[in-house]
Amino acid sequence: MIFCSLSFSAWANETGTETIASYIEYSAVLETQWAYGVTKKSNQKLQFIYEPEINVELPNNHKLTVIGRLRGDIYDKLEPGSPSQAEISPMSRRGLIGNHTDMALREFYYEATVGETYLTLGKQQIVWGQADGLKLLDVVNPQDFREFILDDFSRSRIPLWTVNTEIPINDAMLQLIWMPDQTYHALPESNSLYAFHSPLLVPNVPPGVNVNLQPIDKPNNFFADADYGARLSQFVGGWDVTLNYLYHYNDNPVLFRHLTSGSEPAVTITPRYERSHLIGGTFSNALGDFVLRGEVGYSTDRYFMVKGIDDRNGVNKSDEFAYVFGLDWSGMTDTFFSAQLFQSNLINHHPELVRDKVDTTLTFLARRNFINDTLVAEVLLIHSTNNSDGLIRPKVSYEWHDNIKVWMGMDIFYGNQTGLFGQFAKNDRLVVGVIWGM
Amino acid sequence: MKLKQNLFNQFFVISVSAFILTNTALAETILPSGLEIAQQVNARNEGASVSRNLIMEMVDRRGKKRVRETRGFRKYYGEEKRTMIFYLQPKNVRKTAFLTYDYPQADDDQWLYLPAMRKVRRISSSDRGDYFLGTDFTYEDIKKESKVGIEDYHWKTVGEEAIDGHHSYVVEATPINDDVAQELGYSTVIYHVDSDIWMVRQSDHWDIRDNALKTINFRDIRLVQDIWSAHILEVNNHKTGHHTRFLFSDIDYSTEVTDGIFTQQSLRRGL
């Protein structure tokens, strides 16, 4: 930011105040969303969002971007009261205004070219990967799960303070990232509407046993606990390919469990973040009417919960090999179909693990545009074959005016309550939204 | 409405057919061949590179108008052409960007950056008959600009006439096979090519069922840095009543466009 300040003040001295205004651009998004739970017959949210964005053009093609967000929700069911934000670093936390409103500096970054290197410094989102709706390599930034996975990824993705450099090497591009921001997934608290209760995510505790939940053991060393990574990307022979590496704390805390026997048995749960190496790659190419795309990733030192309570610490460590293959088809005018296969394999699978050795998820998306793209109808299906549960999301959106879009959709969960999606089977909802760009 | 459309179709087809019939004999004897004219169109200097502003106006049959402000860049690398379009306004499409590598002998490579996803998506280049982001131009129309797809059509000169007061050759282009016709979405295109400057001034398009589909007019053609440039492109879709107007400004052929513009990094970063 020092770099930014120096550049800005030098530029301001050379340029008159009136001229400066012509280099500053303001825009904003106003959005309201109403969600009604059709199973419980109750409102889930009536949310208002104001997202201002300021772009400043500086000399030598340097740029400064500031994006904020003010959000209010009349019903306060997604994050009742004042969430602790324990997973978020102090420098990235939202400001809470009562129980119904919060404000956040979403993004704040400075872009500059130094020689051949392109620098993006500040709070930002970095998106890796080729998959839609499923995250394999797109794990650079953590996610806010206040609405499970129902919110837009760009909105639920939590921006991090990051040093992001892109260096051209012949025809390839090397991206190096360093993130000293110790912020992890924002998980819903137990009294919230989308609190996790699937045994795939929450430890099994027998009835009558007291639970002692310890505070999260969170990394706190600015340098030693920073995440860092690299991506080499190239367009070669018609293929877009990348090689990715990320050394990071997995954004889900490992729930270490300790059982105390005696007259009053108790389970102590200690959430702690653990390091992992992720190495992988992506590819995509257009072949006739089809686009083939995919991601492959290998993660070391992942931790997975075990079923029984006799286990020493309630978790088992294993490496994980995962991949996504996607196929898009757009052979018919204004129509788009997409299918994806996502599989995760545990290298060191233990029979007592709550999850299977191979976990498979399928997605299907069908979309059709009407009336010169002003009306778009789509349906997305996400299906877990292991648990036979999933999510169906039909949606219709209409561009009413240049800057006003209205939309309506449903989020329909199905399957057993023990499943990742089935746990929210009673949260089916109708959602209506209006978005106004200014 | 349907009757009106049918009558329009018939009038459109009869008018052009009559014109073609009366001029065919003449065309075969003294006019340059359709292929020669198409080659002349494509040989016209477009500049090694260009940057320009483009306002897209889209108006539906009820008169409701949508406006998009963009900035575009194009550069030739030998026979390969690279094109980038950045959307600047309105807010809901701002930062959308479209990149094409157009090869003479192979399928194009195309990418679209959608800011809502913050992701560069690969697009199938065989979608070239699809309409480009809500306009009445297809992806192929956008790619070709004022040039024509010589390899996609059989070419035949069918006459000559005046368009906007300028003497023009009338050339009939029919797709080389059904697959190409399906891809492009056209069964026939009639080009009206200015015989002095070898620019298309008007093109009439029929869909694959031989219904009158749309007419494209290239207007306000002026010399910019010694290169003939159309400043207004207008499409009237006869089937839907929708029309699109492209208004070009600040056309600049002389300032060098850097190679870095035509990259996926540039798609993501925007202008």
Interface membership of B105 toward A (CB under 8 Å)? no
Split at pLDDT 50, 70, 90, the class of B145 is confident
- Which of A249-253, A333-337, A404-408 shows the lowest per-residue confidence on average (mean pLDDT)? A333-337
Please count the residue pairs, one from chain A and one from chain B, whose beta carbons lie less than 8 angstroms apart.
96
CATH of the domain at B20: 2.50.20.10
Q: What is the mean pLDDT of chain A?
A: 93
Q: What is the pLDDT of residue A153?
A: 86
Return the residue in B60, B64, B77, B92 with the most chain A beta carbons within 10 A, the one to mutate for interface testing: B92
In B, which residues are within 8 Å of A372 by CB distance?
A: 58, 60, 131, 134-136, 240, 242
Residues of A in contact with B119 (CB under 8 A): 127, 129
Q: What is the pLDDT of residue A2?
A: 47
The interface predicted TM-score of the complex, written ipTM, equals: 0.90
Q: Taking CA atoms, what residue in A is nearest to B117? A: A154
Min Cα–Cα distance to chain A from B208, Å: 13
pLDDT for the residue B11: 54
Interface test with A, best of B62, B95, B123, B124 (most A CBs within 10 A): B124
How many domains in chain B? 1
Q: Could you tell me if A425 and A405 are in contact, meaning their C-beta atoms sit under 8 angstroms apart?
A: no
pLDDT, tens only, A171-203: 999 999 999 999 999 999 999 999 999 999 998
Which residue ranges form the domains of chain A, and what is each CATH number?
2-437 (2.40.160.10)
Q: Are B107 and B80 in contact (CB under 8 A)?
A: no
* Residue A250 predicted with pLDDT over 90: yes
State the Cα–Cα distance between residues B69 and B56, nearest whole angstrom: 6
* Predicted local distance difference test score (pLDDT) of residue A288: 87
- CA–CA distances in Å: residue A175 to residues A163, A263, B110: 10, 57, 22
- Which of B:35-94 have CB within 8 Å of A? 58, 60, 66-67, 90-92, 94
For A187-274, where are the E strands, in sequence order?
A: 210-213, 227-236, 239-249, 254-260, 266-272
> Rounded CA gap, A7 and A62, in Å?
9
pLDDT at A266: 87
Closest-CA residue of B relative to A287 is: B124
Task: Tell whether the model's pLDDT for residue B143 goes beyond 90.
Answer: no
Question: Residue A98 pLDDT > 70, yes or no?
Answer: yes
pLDDT at position A13, please? 60
Note whether A183 and A160 are within 8 A (CB): yes
Top residue of B112, B119, B267 to mutate, by most chain A CBs within 10 Å, is B119
CA distance B182 to B207: 9
Which residues are within 8 A (CB) of A134 and not within 5 positions of it... i.e. 6 or more apart? A324, A340, A342, A361, A363, A382
Q: How far apart are CA A106 and CA A73, in angstroms?
A: 18
Nearest of B144, B115, B140, B141 to residue B125 by alpha carbon = B140
Angle (CA) B242-B244-B245 rounded to 5° is 150
DSSP-assigned beta bridge partners for residue A373 = none
* Distance, CA of A338 to CA of B101 (rounded, Å): 24
Question: Which of A41-45, A201-205, B154-158, B188-192 is predicted with the least confidence, judged by mean pLDDT?
Answer: A201-205
B-chain residue closest to A56, CA distance: B271
Structure letter (DSSP) for residue A116: T
pLDDT digits (tens, 9 = 90+) for B97-141: 999 998 888 888 999 999 988 999 998 876 678 888 889 999 889
Q: Which residue has the higher pLDDT, A361 or A401?
A: A361
Beta partners for A42? A37
Read off the pLDDT of each residue in B211-231 and give the average, rounded to a whole number: 97
Residue B159 is part of which domain span? 2-269
* Residue B190 clears pLDDT 80, i.e. is over it: yes
A432–chain B nearest CA distance, Å: 18
**Tens digits of residue pLDDT in B6-21:** 555 555 555 555 555 4
CB nearest A402 (choices: B67, B185, B240): B67
